[in-house]
Each structure stands twice: as C-alpha cells, then as structure tokens.
Structure 1
Amino acid sequence: MRQRRRTFMIGGMGLVLCGVLGMLQYAAPGLGPVVGILVDLVFAAAVLLFAIGSSRAASVVARRPLGVAALTVVAVWPLAIRAVQPLLPIMDAATFDAGLDAYRGAETILTAVFFTNLLVSLVAGLLASVQIARAAVVPAPWNWAPLWAFAVSVVAAVIPQLLFAAAGSSGAQALAEAAILLGAIGFLARTLGLGILALVLAARFRSDSVDVYRSA
C-alpha cells in the first residue's frame, strides 16, 4: 500500500504540474515552445511512473504487458511527434513556388503524419484507459476515470473540427477562441483532473494503511 501511495503521489504531482504549465502556455503564448517541451517531458515521466509503478501492485495496469506498452506509447508519443516536426515540410509560399509536385509532396507527407498521429494517439489512449479499468488497481469507480478523461479529450478535439467544417472560412475566426477553450478543457481533463484524482487516492491509501495498522 505504501508503494502504491508513493506512485500515486509522485505521478499525481507530475500530472498536476503538467496542467499548471499548460495553463501558463495558454496564458503566455510567447513561452509556448519551451513550456511545451517541459510539459511533454513531465507528462512522459508521470505516465511512465504510473505504468511501471514502484512495484507490480503500484502499477495502474499491474504491469501487464499490453497496458505497460499502451501507456508507454501515450507517454513518449508527444515527444516523438515534437522531435519529428522540424523535419516536416512547411506549407508556405516557397513550397508553392517550388512547383506543384513539391507542393503535393509536402501535402501528402503532412497528411500522412497527421493521420498517423491521430491513429496512434487514439488507439494508445483507448487501450491504456481500458487496461487501467480492467486491472482494478485504481479503486472503483475511479478506475474508469482515465477513460472518462480520454473521452473528454476526444470530444474536445472533434467538436471544433465539426464546427469549422460547418461554419466554413467565413466563420472560422469567430470559432478560434472556442476551439482554444475546448482544447484547454481536453488537456486539463487528462492532466490536472487525473493528477488531482491521483493525489486524492494517494491520501486515501494512506488513510487505509493507518486503519489497518490501528486494527492490528
């Protein structure tokens, strides 16, 4: 129980820190690149800690291979995408001036990366959430909380795309702020929200340990 409490405490603090840094990133766009890298690093460390745990009993997926693999992808995938971004072509006037073939080639690469990122993120997030729920290391009903946060993140990402498609180019500017707000909600659900829940559960584990000790 002590190892589980330690895992939830440290991991929860990491996710809360991600949420706070993320809000700073939204509030001060000029700090975006630096804060973004820091958020990805802290998020990766926190998620990997939850996946492996300080012991098998402390791992939120009980160190089951599928769960650990899915959480590892969830942890490191944002860093992988960030590392690849400087290598991707840029859709700008220079690309267009280089010729139609160059423009189409750049568009094809960016489209492939976009859908790959989308597919990997969705599959890894869904698998990790389901594995956490099935492992039942996290007390019920909170073992379903990662799936709830995942659903909120997906909805927050999909709704702006649907709104932009419905509004067309004329109403895109008016929806930009709403899209940013929804994106922030999705981000905070899987960082600050889950982090606070982990800290609450860590305190609950400590309380349970004290009760057992007293009863002995």
Structure 2
Amino acid sequence: MITVDASGKAAMERRRTWLIGGILLVAYAMMTLVGWMGTALSVGRLPSLLISAAFLIFAVGIGRGGSVTARRPLGTGALIALALWHAGAPWLFDLIPDTAYDHPGYFAAVQMLTITGVVVELVLAIIAVTQIGRTGVVPPPWRWAPLWVLIAVIAGQLPQTGAVLGSMVTSQDALVTINALAALLNAAGVCFLGVLAIVLGTRREPASVVVY
C-alpha cells in the first residue's frame, strides 16, 4: 500500500504531469484529424511523436509523484513500450522498399506488418490501462477512463479489421468511410483523455490518496 501526500510535492508533480500530458494528447488528436482531412498542411509523423511524448510523461511523470502507474514496473514498462512503438512503428514500413511494390508478396508483407503492429499495440495498451486502473494514482472513477476509451476504440475498429482481413468491403468508398470513422473515434477518445487529464491537472486534490 502506498500513501501519497497530495498536499505537497507529489500533488504538484501530478498536476504538472497531467497538464502537460493532456495537452500533448489533445495536440495529437488535432494533428490526426488535420492529417485525415487532407488539408494542405502536412503533419508528417508529428502525431506519432506527440502521443509517444505523452505516454512517456504519463509513465515516468514529471517527478515520481506524477507517474500514473506509480512507476511500478509492469504498467510503466507497458506505457514506455507503447511510446517507443508509436515513435518507431511508422518507420517500419520504410523497411519495405518501393521497388518491391510490384512483387507478388508486397501486399501480404504489408498486411502481416500491419496485423503484427495492431496485436503488439493492443497487448501493451491492455496492460497499461489495466495497471493505471489498479494502481489508483488517478482519482476514481477516472482511473478507469483509459480502459473505457480502449474498449470504445476496439469496438470502432472491428469493421475496419474485418474489411482488411476478410475482404468484407468491396466498395472503395465504403472502405474509406470505415477507415475515416475509425480514425475519428480514435482521435475523439484520445482527445477525451487529454481534456480529462488537463481538468484533473488543474483541480486541487484531497489531503491524501491511498494507493493499493
């Protein structure tokens, strides 16, 4: 059991961590939407770097008291791994040269790489959100908010996954719509967590928090 002094240094570290991390999550959501809207503004890989930075900040904290996992190995490691994955995953596709586009196995390789990425990200996310909820650094009931968002995002991506794996969608327009809706739901979920973190980071806490 860990008793956190919310009236002093630990509370300040938590507020700073949640405020900065929340801003990064909201910025990621906005950049993702900008990229999907196909505007003239190129965001490149900035969204990946933003969400990676947010995960690192939430995992480690700006000071030990700021970590949403209390720096426990399992949850902290999962968040750090998620951060590294988001930072490096976009470059994985660069490993497949453009000259291989006409190769018979090109699309199979891309599909396999995509599936592997989804599975790795999902496993790490499940571990992270579960540990955030169980650690209890975030006040109730919001400690389970990441799990709520993860469930909603998974549900929203099921049609997309079915379209990719089972060729359920034959219309290109329908596929584009499914992908757009999945991206919108993901951005909305991350934005919700970002706003929630900002709100929690700007409010005063009770005198102490007991973490089991």
TM-score range, shorter chain: 0.7 to 0.9
The one-letter code matched in structure 1 to 2:35 is: Q
Deviations 1:188-214 (A, max 9, x none): 20x21110000111122xx337xx6xx
1:49-198 map, 5 Å: 49-89=57-97, 94-95=102-103, 103-104=104-105, 106-162=106-162, 165=166, 167-169=168-170, 171-189=171-189, 191-198=190-197
Alignment check: 8 A CA contact 1:67 1:131 kept: yes
- Alpha-carbon distance in structure 2 between the residues aligned to 1:119 and 1:29: 30
Deviation at 1:114, TM superposition (A): 2.2
Where do 5+ consecutive residues of structure 1 fail to align?
Answer: 96-102
**Bigger radius of gyration, 1 or 2?**
1
- Alpha-carbon distance in structure 2 between the residues aligned to 1:94 and 1:162: 25
Q: Structure 1 residues 162, 54: closer, same or farther in 2, change over 3 A?
A: same
- Alpha-carbon distance in structure 2 between the residues aligned to 1:203 and 1:67: 24
Deviations 1:14-57 (A, max 9, x none): 111111111211223554xx414111111111110000002222
The one-letter code matched in structure 2 to 1:208 is: E
Q: Which has the higher contact order (CA 8 A, sep 6+)?
A: 2
Do residues 208 (structure 1) and 205 (structure 2) align? yes
- Alpha-carbon distance in structure 2 between the residues aligned to 1:29 and 1:86: 24
The one-letter code matched in structure 2 to 1:56 is: R
Alignment check: 8 A CA contact 2:129 2:144 kept: yes
Alignment check: 8 A CA contact 1:153 1:187 kept: no
Alignment check: 8 A CA contact 2:93 2:110 kept: no
Number of residues of Structure 1 aligned to a counterpart in Structure 2: 196
Deviation at 1:120, TM superposition (A): 0.6
Where do 5+ consecutive residues of structure 2 fail to align?
Answer: 1-10, 208-212
Do residues 21 (structure 1) and 31 (structure 2) align? yes
Do residues 9 (structure 1) and 8 (structure 2) align? no
Deviation at 1:159, TM superposition (A): 2.1
| Identical residues among aligned pairs (%) | 32
Q: Which residue of 2 aligns with 1:43?
A: 51
| TM-score normalized with structure 2 length | 0.82
Q: RMSD over aligned Cα, in angstroms?
A: 2.3
Q: Structure 1 residues 26, 93: closer, same or farther in 2, change over 3 A?
A: closer
| TM-score normalized with structure 1 length | 0.80
The structure with the largest helix share of the pair is: 1
- Alpha-carbon distance in structure 2 between the residues aligned to 1:151 and 1:9: 24
Alignment check: 8 A CA contact 1:12 1:198 kept: yes
Alignment check: 8 A CA contact 2:169 2:175 kept: no
